[in-house]
Amino acid sequence: RVVAHAVPRRHQPGQHRGWSSRVPIRNTQGDLYWVDWSFSQVLNNDGGIMSWVGIGLDVTEAVKIEKERERRLREEDKFRATATLAGGISHHFNNLLQVINGIAEVNLELIDDKHGTQASNLKRIIDASSQARVLVRQMLDFSRNTPMNQQPVDLAEMIKSFSMVISAAIPK
């Protein structure tokens, strides 16, 4: 059987052992403060512990600043992930739009009645895919974090064209 017991160690005069720690403390009003505590032994001439000395430093503001910095870094990471996702989706979506637009243009050339319902529907597909390409370009600009090229738009025309696309997509 092994018996363990503490043996006081003798240190050289002037040496010290201690510890430090950051501790959250609440005051009587419930406010949270952060304190860095540091304690050290004070030794006598024989190397025995004569007493302890400690000091506490209020680091609440430093902790708040550090937490805010960490929050901002997390937000930046989320932004970068969103931008990367937007870039990937944009490339795939752009490829699909090219196929849709190409098929609509070919079919428009193949039909005889250039003013009928079928031609009108194909022109709406071509117009909608052109507008979607603008959105894709904006998403790619966002993913590359490039400045947006802002231009005035005819909102009424944009709503009209989107309403045609949406009404065609919603079952009646």
Instruction: Tell me the mean pLDDT in the region 85-101.
Output: 86
Describe the crossing of helices 117-143 and 155-169 by its angle, rounded to 10 degrees.
110
Instruction: Tell me the mean pLDDT in the region 30-57.
Output: 87
Instruction: Tell me the mean pLDDT in the region 9-23.
Output: 65
Q: Calculate the dihedral angle through the C-alpha atoms of 119, 123, 125, 130, rounding to the nearest 10 degrees.
A: 160
Distance (Å) of CA 87 to CA 98, 113, 148: 17, 39, 15
Please indicate whether residue 111 or residue 1 has the higher confidence score (pLDDT). 111
Q: Residue 7: what pLDDT? A: 39
pLDDT bin (cut points 50, 70, 90) of residue 4 is very low
Q: Residue 8: what pLDDT? A: 44
Asked if the model's pLDDT at residue 44 lies above 60, the reply is: yes
Q: Is 92 helix (H, G, I), strand (E, B) or coil?
A: helix
